[in-house]
C-alpha cells in the first residue's frame, strides 16, 4: 500500500496505516536530495568520532563497529536537521497522527555488507511515549530489500501492547531485544527505493536480518515523532517542534536508546 503525491496521503493509504500499522510514500525525497544526504554522512564517517553521536572504530572486525549508526545527527548536521523537520514529512505525519507533530530523534544507519540486523522489536519500548506512541519515518537511501538487510514488519501488532522482549541471537542482531511474532502473525518484507519513506506505528513489531550482500550498503535515515499531546518520553529523546523549537517533556521510566547493543565480540 502506498500514498500518492509529494507528502500527501490518500484515504486508502491512511486507512492502511490505521489497519496494518504502516504505509509507504514512494519518492518523497528526490535522488539528488538522497545523494546529498549520503555524501554528508560519508564525510562525517571519514572525519572520525563525534562524542555522544558517532564512535567508529576502523580496526574493529565487526562491520557495525567500523560503520556504527549515528545517533541524533540533526544536532551536529544542518542537513540532517533539514531532513528531520522536512515539511513533507510533517504533512504526512500530521495526517497519520491527527495532531501537531514533535520530532523526538534522528538516526542514520550505514549497515555495511556483512553487518548484523536488528531483531524484531517495538520502537515505543525504548521511547516510552505516553499517552499514545511514536511514529517512525524511515527514509531509504538506496535500493533496500532482503538481500541487504531490509526491514520486515508484522502487520497488526500496532494494536497490541508492548511485549516483554526475549534475548536476541547475537550472531544475527546487534541489539539484545527480540519480540517473537504473536501466534498467527508473520513478518512481511518492505522493499524500498531511494527516496521512499516507510511510516510505521511505534508499537508495530519490526526488524531486519543481516546484510548478506557482498558489496551493498543499506543506508537509511530515521526520524521518530510524537503527537503534541504526548506528556512523557524517555530522557534520551529531545523533542522539537517541526519549526525547530525545543519542547521539554517529563521523563518516562524504563526508556532508553533504540536498541540495547550487545557487548563487542569477535568478527562478523
Q: What pLDDT does 263 receive?
A: 78
Q: For residues 165-185, give the mean pLDDT.
A: 97
- Is 156 among the domain residues? yes
Those residues whose C-beta lies under 8 Å from the C-beta of residue 245, and which sit 6 or more positions away, are none
- pTM reported for the whole predicted model: 0.94
- Is 251 among the domain residues? no
Q: For residues 229-245, give the mean pLDDT.
A: 97
- Is 258 among the domain residues? no
Whether the predicted pLDDT of 239 surpasses 50: yes
Minimum mean pLDDT among 7-21, 119-133, 240-254: which range? 7-21
Q: What pLDDT does 265 receive?
A: 55
Q: For residues 22-35, give the mean pLDDT.
A: 96
Say if residues 133 and 195 touch (Cβ distance below 8 Å).
Answer: no
- Is 144 among the domain residues? yes
Whether the predicted pLDDT of 7 surpasses 90: no
- Is 85 among the domain residues? yes
**Domain containing 183 — which CATH number?**
2.60.120.620
Whether the predicted pLDDT of 1 surpasses 60: no
Structural domain tally of the chain?
Answer: 1
Give the domain extent around 183: 11-241
Q: For residues 158-184, give the mean pLDDT.
A: 97
- Is 98 among the domain residues? yes
Q: For residues 140-160, give the mean pLDDT.
A: 98
pLDDT for 42-91, tens place per residue? 999 999 999 999 999 999 999 999 999 999 999 999 999 999 999 999 99
- Is 1 among the domain residues? no
- Is 249 among the domain residues? no
Whether the predicted pLDDT of 6 surpasses 60: no
Amino acid at each position: 500500500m502506498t500514498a500518492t503525491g509529494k507528502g500527501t496521503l490518500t484515504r486508502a493509504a491512511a486507512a492502511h496505516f490505521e489497519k496494518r500499522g504502516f504505509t509507504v510514500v514512494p519518492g518523497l525525497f528526490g535522488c539528488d536530495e538522497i545523494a546529498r544526504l549520503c555524501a554528508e554522512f560519508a564525510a562525517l564517517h571519514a572525519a572520525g568520532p563525534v562524542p555522544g553521536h558517532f564512535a567508529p572504530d576502523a580496526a574493529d572486525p565487526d562491520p557495525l563497529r567500523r560503520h556504527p549508526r549515528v545517533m541524533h545527527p540533526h544536532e551536529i548536521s544542518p542537513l540532517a536537521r533539514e531532513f528531520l523537520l522536512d515539511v513533507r514529512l510533517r504533512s504526512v505525519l500530521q495526517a497519520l497522527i491527527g495532531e501537531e507533530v514533535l520530532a523526538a530523534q534522528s538516526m542514520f544507519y550505514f549497515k555495511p555488507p556483512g553487518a548484523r540486523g536488528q531483531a524484531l522489536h517495538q520502537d515505543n519500548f525504548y521511547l516510552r511515549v505516553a499517552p499514545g506512541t511514536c511514529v517512525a519515518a524511515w527514509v531509504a537511501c538506496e535500493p533496500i530489500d532482503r538481500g541487504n538487510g531490509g526491514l520486515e514488519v508484522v502487520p497488526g501488532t500496532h494494536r497490541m501492547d508492548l511485549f516483554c522482549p526475549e534475548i536476541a541471537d547475537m550472531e544475527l542482531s546487534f541489539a539484545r531485544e527480540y519480540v517473537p511474532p504473536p501466534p498467527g502473525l508473520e513478518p512481511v518484507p518492505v522493499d524500498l527505493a531511494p527516496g521512499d519513506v516507510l511510516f510505521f506505528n511505534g508499537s508495530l513489531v519490526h526488524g531486519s536480518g543481516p546484510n548478506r550482500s557482498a558489496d551493498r550498503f543499506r543506508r537509511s535515515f530515521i526520524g521518530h515523532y510524537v503527537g503534541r499531546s504526548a506528556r512523557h518520553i524517555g530522557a534520551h529523546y529531545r523533542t522539537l517542534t517541526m519549526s525547530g523549537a525545543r519542547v521539554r517533556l517529563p521523563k518516562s521510566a524504563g526508556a532508553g536508546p533504540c536498541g540495547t547493543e550487545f557487548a563487542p565480540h569477535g568478527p562478523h
